[in-house]
Amino acid sequence: MKLSKLYTKTSKSIPSDESANNARLLIQAGFIHKEMAGVYSYLPLGKIVLDKISEIVRQEMNKIGALEVQMSVLQPRDIWEKTDRWDDKKVDNWFKTKLNNGQDLGIGLTHEEPIVDSLIGFINSYKDLPVYVYQIQNKFRNELRAKSGLLRGREFLMKDLYSFSLNKEDHQQYYDEVLLAYYKIYEKLGIGDDTYRTYADGGIFSSSFSDEFQTLSEVGEDLIYLDKKNKIAINKEIYNPENLKKIGLKESELEPHKAIEVGNTFSLGSKYTDQLGLYYTDNNGQKKSIVMGCYGIGISRLMGVIAEKFSDDLGLIWPINIAPAKIYLISVSQDQKTQAKTQKLYDLLTQKCIDVIYDDRDIRIGEKFADADLLGIPIRAIISSKHGEQEVAVKQRTEKTEKIIKYIDLINLVK
Ligand code: ATP
Ligand code: MG
């Protein structure tokens, strides 16, 4: 990407109508545009980051045998009445609308009911199970407080996975596989060290716990009690002597921390499948209930969490796997020879499939340095006629000093 072709610009000032640090930084750097409280659009650089996060999640979902679908956002009322979740008294953050003929519609806030309904007709016998489906899609929730930028949106991107198993044992086995996939995802996103499996409320139809993945952050809305040594935590919501004992946690080894929920996993039993009439027949011809699980990851929230956690006075600091580009390329002067040399390195990096932003704008070099920092690109590479033919001055976003290295070493550094 050449910066002269990018229509978004960085801004010198911090947006005054935004209180959340993640959104401030992202708006200032031109990654997102605020439409209204809790509603953001993703501009070219923001869209690249969002897609990279999605792709990491998608790969891990595919590895555990899940199939990707895209369910509709508009949903009919009747399937939600079957599970008693249509009523505003039961679920209070629905956006709802009507067709011209008066028929009620819901605007997707989650998809258990539609997913189950879509399987009717396909699942009949034990031979048709298990089924694992997921999607990466915008969800809509009329959140009361939407003051945390991307951390709590009224429209936000979520990955939701649903599992359908023959029995509890099969369900549990898959549930554990999902937990492992989640650990891998947070690791790849650069927040593995700060993200903890956290025991949480199992919900009304489960006597056991659900699991949340909580990332430590001072701006988090959740409070968790963390056993750092064993890398396990319990949410304050269920913190009591009885639960500590059940889980095997010792009060003396727990420290309270603020945290942000970046994902969760739920065992749903057969509540939804039974109520919507999705069953299978076993090998004796007996009608049996299906055991369901659901597993969420907040994709756009993760972008906010990462922006919030990894930044300094100069701007964003993206982990290399999800940065909009790995290298920010600058020519030290506008003379033809140096520019030609810079273009050559740009072509070489592009050929090696390394995402690079080439700042080819005719502006002061100090402004380019400032933008490289504000955008949070992991490696800054500067071409000068002073250096050898195959040499470039490289500085990492988190380091103070520059090093002159060979092109091949730059490529190795990225890889
Ligand atoms: P929370 O407890 O934060 O309100 P939740 O428990 O309602 O979230 P789910 O409905 O299970 O969350 O959604 C799955 C994931 O989607 C959550 O773990 C979170 O990462 C993300 N998420 C939930 N609500 C929002 C939101 N309003 N904005 C952005 N991400 C969200
Ligand atoms: Mg929650």
Given a cut of 70, is residue 201 above it in pLDDT? yes
Of the pLDDT bands very low, low, confident and very high (cuts 50, 70, 90), residue 188 is very high
How far apart are alpha carbons 356 and 333 in whole angstroms? Answer: 19
Q: Please determine, for residue 203, whether its predicted confidence score (pLDDT) is greater than 80.
A: no
Evaluate: CB of 38 within 6 angstroms of ligand 1.
Answer: no
156 within ligand 1 shell (Cβ under 6 A): yes
Q: What is the pLDDT of residues 393-408, one digit of tens each?
A: 999 999 999 999 999 9
Structure tokens at 54: 């999605």
Cα(261) to ligand 2 centroid in Å equals 7
Report the pLDDT value the prediction gives residue 282, as an integer from 0 to 100: 97
Ligand 1 contact via 152 beta carbon (within 6 Å) = yes
Ligand 1 atom nearest to 294, measured from its CA: 11
Q: Which of 264, 266, 294 should be mutated for ligand 1, with most atoms under 8 A from CB?
A: 264
Residue 205 confidence (pLDDT): 56
Pocket test for ligand 1, best of 155, 261, 295 (most atoms within 8 A of CB): 261
The residue to which tokens 């076993």 are assigned:
282
Residue 14 confidence (pLDDT) = 84
Determine the pLDDT at residue 6.
97
Q: What is the pLDDT of residue 145?
A: 86
Residue nearest to atom 11 of ligand 1 (CA): 296
Q: Is the pLDDT of residue 206 over 70?
A: no
pLDDT band, very low/low/confident/very high, at 13 (cuts 50, 70, 90): confident
Angstrom distances, CA of residue 90 to CA of 156, 241, 273, 373:
22, 30, 19, 47
Q: Is 301 in the pocket of ligand 1 (CB under 6 A)?
A: yes
Residue with CA closest to ligand 1 atom 31: 298
Overall average pLDDT of the 339-354 stretch: 97
Of the candidates 379, 401, 403, 400, the one whose C-alpha atom is nearest the C-alpha of residue 391 is 403
Q: What is the 3-state secondary structure (H, E, C) of the chain?
A: CEHHHCCCCCCCCCCCCCCCHHHHHHHHCCCEEEEECCEEEECHHHHHHHHHHHHHHHHHHHHCCCEECCCCCEEEHHHHHHCCCCCCCCCCCCEEEECCCCCEEEECCCCHHHHHHHHCCCCCEHHHCCEEEEEEEEEECCCCCCCCHHHCCCEEEEEEEEEEECCHHHHHHHHHHHHHHHHHHHHHCCCHHHEEEEEECCCCCCCCCEEEEEEECCCCCEEEEEECCCCEEEEHHHCCHHHHHHHCCCHHHCEEEEEEEEEEEEEEECHHHHHHCCEEECCCCCEEECEEEEEEEEHHHHHHHHHHHCEECCEECCCCCCCCCCEEEEECCCCHHHHHHHHHHHHHHHHCCCCEEEECCCCCHHHHHHHHHHHCCCEEEEECCCCCCCEEEEEECCCCCCEEEEHHHHHHHHC
Which mutation among 91, 141, 158 tests ligand 1's pocket best, with the greatest number of atoms within 8 A of CB? 158
Distance 195 CA to ligand 2 centre (A): 15
Q: What is Dmax (Cα atoms) for the chain?
A: 81
As annotated, the residues of the chain forming the CATH 3.40.50.800 domain(s) are 327-414
Mean pLDDT of 363-374: 97
Cα(399) to ligand 1 centroid in Å equals 35
Share of the chain above pLDDT 70, in %: 99
Q: Whose CA is nearest to atom 22 of ligand 1?
A: 298
pLDDT of residue 291: 98
153 lines ligand 1 (CB under 6 A): yes
Tell me how far the alpha carbon of residue 212 lies from the centroid of ligand 2, in angstroms.
Answer: 7
Closest ligand by atom to 238 CA: 2
Q: Tell which residue, 204, 198, 206, 200, has the closest CA to residue 171.
A: 206
Fold of 3-312: BirA Bifunctional Protein; domain 2 (3.30.930)
- What integer pLDDT is reported at residue 231 of this predicted model? 96
The atom of ligand 1 lying closest to the CA of 110 is 10
Does residue 264's CB lie within 6 angstroms of at least one atom of ligand 1? Answer: yes
Q: Whose CA is nearest to atom 21 of ligand 1?
A: 298
Which pLDDT tens digit goes with each residue over 246-284?
999 999 999 999 999 999 999 999 999 999 999 999 999
Does the beta carbon of 119 lie inside 6 Å of ligand 1?
no
**If you average pLDDT over every residue of the chain, what do you get?**
96
CA distances from 346 to 95, 318, 330, 406 (A): 47, 21, 10, 14
Confidence class for position 207, pLDDT limits 50, 70, 90: low
From the CA of 157, the nearest ligand is 1
Q: What is the pTM of this model?
A: 0.97
pLDDT tens per residue, range 46-101: 999 999 999 999 999 999 999 999 999 999 999 999 999 999 999 999 999 999 99
* pLDDT at residue number 208: 83
Name the residue of 301, 302, 305, 308 to mutate for ligand 1: max ligand atoms within 8 A of Cβ.
Answer: 301
Segment 332-352 mean pLDDT? 95
| 282-325 residue pLDDT tens | 999 999 999 999 999 999 999 999 999 999 999 999 999 999 99
Task: Give CATH 3.30.930.10 domain extents, the chain.
Answer: 3-312
What is the second-level CATH architecture of the domain 327-414? 3-Layer(aba) Sandwich (3.40)
Q: Which of 128-132, 151-155, 324-328, 330-334 has the lowest mean pLDDT?
A: 330-334
Q: Say whether pLDDT at 15 is over 90.
A: no
